[in-house]
Amino acid sequence: MATPSDVTAPDPVSVSPSTTRKRCGSGDLPRIVPRRHLGRWFAAAVALLVFAMVANSVVRNPAFQWDVVGRYFTTTAVLDGLLLTLWLTAVVMVLGFLLGTLLAVMRLSANPVLATLSWGYVWIFRSTPLLVQLLFWFNIGALYPTLGVGVPFGPQFVTVKTVNLLGPALTAVIGLTLHEAAYAAEVVRGGIVSVDAGQTQAAQALGLGRWRTLRRIVVPQAMRSIVPTAGNMLIGTLKGTSIVSVLAVHDLLYSVQLVYNQTYQVIPLLMVATLWYIAVTTVLSAGQFYVERHYARGAARTLPPTPLQRLRGQPAVSRVRRGS
């Protein structure tokens, strides 16, 4: 009788690949079968079917009048309205975040007067609808017929009529900027608060001043929290500028309305405005992705792949140098 000590196991190194293939093929070893996701494939098929039905109804519906959409898509009136919309969005975002950053710093200040004033500003402008604010600033001449510069509580040296000073475009800039600043203040404040307090304490231990600590230590780290919300606000502001059409400002929507009031082709002209909003929003979303990727360098060891890298099948770029 053979004892267990007499039975020797084959050396794994001495087993040839051909022997391994024969064993796998003969059924000695179990074959690994990938898990079937039937529910996932069924949901994908249903979603693709619904999407195809909706796309077919949109493309083949003659009521959309796609020939009219193509004819007015690049007309001078529409492009001028688009440029004004882009200009208004850029100005409102820059001025709104400048004022919002100032309000956020005031809110975080140890001065109770500045903190209270900042809180009151945010409270008032977030509590009032944007349309009401725009109509209020458009009719500000009823409250202050003239505006002047002079000695406080004393004589005025220069006066000007409010009607001549505030036109529809300037009123839209003022109203949108003040409204945007209230939300930007909370976005910036939330980003600053999200930074760990130990960062500020470490900067103080190194002898850095309060302003330098805020500018060089806190704000760069807070941008990771600020950028996503700021990107959403930018896209929201782009679409929100359409509300200035009530002030007869020739933005994209108002320019389209002027055209279909003459031609009575409402649906195709609204599709022109919709396609331009979608195109600009797509570009802004792509820019937001790269800005977020830029500020993720200090937090992520591996940066997320860009859309071009995903198409090429390239892996994510690692920021960790080999040998360091």
Q: What is the mean pLDDT of residues 139-154?
A: 76
Residue entry with tokens 């279909």: 260
Residue entry with tokens 């103080």: 204
Strand pairing report for 156-161 and 146-150: antiparallel
CA dihedral 18, 20, 23, 29 (to 10 degrees): -160
Q: Which of 30-34, 141-145, 251-255 has the highest mean pLDDT?
A: 251-255
Q: Can you tell me the distance from the alpha carbon of 250 to that of 84, in angstroms, rounded to the nearest whole number? A: 7
Q: Say what the pLDDT of residue 324 is.
A: 39
- Residue 191: pLDDT band with limits 50, 70, 90: confident
Lowest-confidence pick of 133-137, 191-195, 312-316: 312-316
| DSSP 3-state of 158 | strand
Q: Dig out the tokens for 62 from the structure.
A: 């003659």
φ and ψ at residue 99, rounded to 5 degrees: -70, -35
Q: Say what the pLDDT of residue 323 is.
A: 39
Q: Can you tell me the distance from the alpha carbon of 181 to that of 258, in angstroms, rounded to the nearest whole number? A: 31
Q: Could you tell me if 166 and 82 are in contact, meaning their C-beta atoms sit under 8 angstroms apart?
A: no
Q: Can you tell me the distance from the alpha carbon of 237 to that of 217, in angstroms, rounded to the nearest whole number? A: 29
Q: Could you tell me if 230 and 285 are in contact, meaning their C-beta atoms sit under 8 angstroms apart?
A: no
pLDDT tens sequence across 40-92: 889 999 999 999 999 998 888 888 889 898 999 999 999 999 999 999 999 99
The pTM for the full model equals: 0.74
**Residue 49: burial class (beta carbons within 10 Å; 0-12, 13-18, 19+):** exposed
Lowest-confidence pick of 5-19, 104-118, 159-173, 250-264: 5-19
Closest CA to 82 of 242, 321, 243, 297: 242
Q: Can you tell me the distance from the alpha carbon of 54 to that of 60, in angstroms, rounded to the nearest whole number? A: 10
Determine which helix (DSSP H) or strand (DSSP E) holds 269, and give its type and residue range: helix 266-295
Q: What is the mean pLDDT of residues 144-150?
A: 76
Q: Could you tell me if 159 and 145 are in contact, meaning their C-beta atoms sit under 8 angstroms apart?
A: no
Q: What share of the chain is helix, strand, coil (3-state, %, to 5)?
A: 70, 5, 25
Q: Can you tell me the distance from the alpha carbon of 39 to that of 81, in angstroms, rounded to the nearest whole number? A: 47
Closest CA to 183 of 241, 248, 233, 253: 233
φ and ψ at residue 158, rounded to 5 degrees: -130, 130
Instruction: For residue 109, give every residue at least 6 positions away whose Cβ sits within 8 Å of its Cβ, in sequence order, or none.
Output: 115, 118
Q: Could you tell me if 238 and 277 are in contact, meaning their C-beta atoms sit under 8 angstroms apart?
A: yes
